[in-house]
Structure 1
Amino acid sequence: MPMKIDSVVARQRVDDLEAAIPFYERLTGLPADRFEFAGVRLASVGPFLLFCGPDEAVRRVAGVSATLAVGDLAAAVEEGIAAGATVVVPAQPTPNGRRAVLRHPHGGVYEYVGP
């Protein structure tokens, strides 16, 4: 059975997180969920992940095209590898669940999140 992607989160680097959040809250009608990870300040607002911070910390976040939520992270990683993806960051816990980063065979880098 093929892997199912439950949702896609678009990533957007911003210069000023607090100044950007009201636009995305108004656009989506949803409140922002703010958090920090690895020296980066982030806000999840509906299907958007806004982030800012020092260039060296932000590079890890900015280098990923999108976040893909899946119902079974281990199965998604296995299926990705079987289809030709390579693991950039193995599955590990984060403040919002577990994540892994894969480079797809055509060059795109995606974060997979899930249980």
Structure 2
Amino acid sequence: MGPFLLYSGPLEKYVSQTATVIVDSLDPVLRALSTAGGEVLEAPAEVPNGTRLVARHPDGSVFEYMQPRTST
């Protein structure tokens, strides 16, 4: 499937998102969104499994981007 997170079970909490994309870094995502005219709906924030942000693309679709926590 690539870098997409697949959900199983009730999706009521996630209906506003088109998909969740797993990325190595949120920095290139933020630059690409800015260049393309996207809108950050939820700024990068720490969550239990890493850092996430939610953004609306210029076409109106909403994606969650997740940068997983790396173990050291």
Query: What band does the TM-score fall into relative to the shorter chain?
Result: 0.7 to 0.9
Conservation of the 8 A alpha-carbon contact between 1:7 and 1:68: yes
Structure of greater Rg: 1
Counterpart pick for 1:7 among 3, 9, 18: 3
Q: Alignment length, in residue pairs?
A: 67
What's the TM-score, normalizing by structure 1? 0.51
In the alignment, structure 1 segments of 5+ residues that lack a partner are 1-5, 10-47
In the alignment, structure 2 segments of 5+ residues that lack a partner are none
- Judging by fraction of residues, say which structure has more strand: 1
Distance in 1, matches of 2:28 and 2:9, equals 28
Partner SS, residue 89 of structure 1: strand
**RMSD, matched Cα:** 1.9
Deviation of the 1:103 alpha carbon: 0.2
* Percent identical: 30
What's the TM-score, normalizing by structure 2? 0.78
Partner SS, residue 71 of structure 1: coil
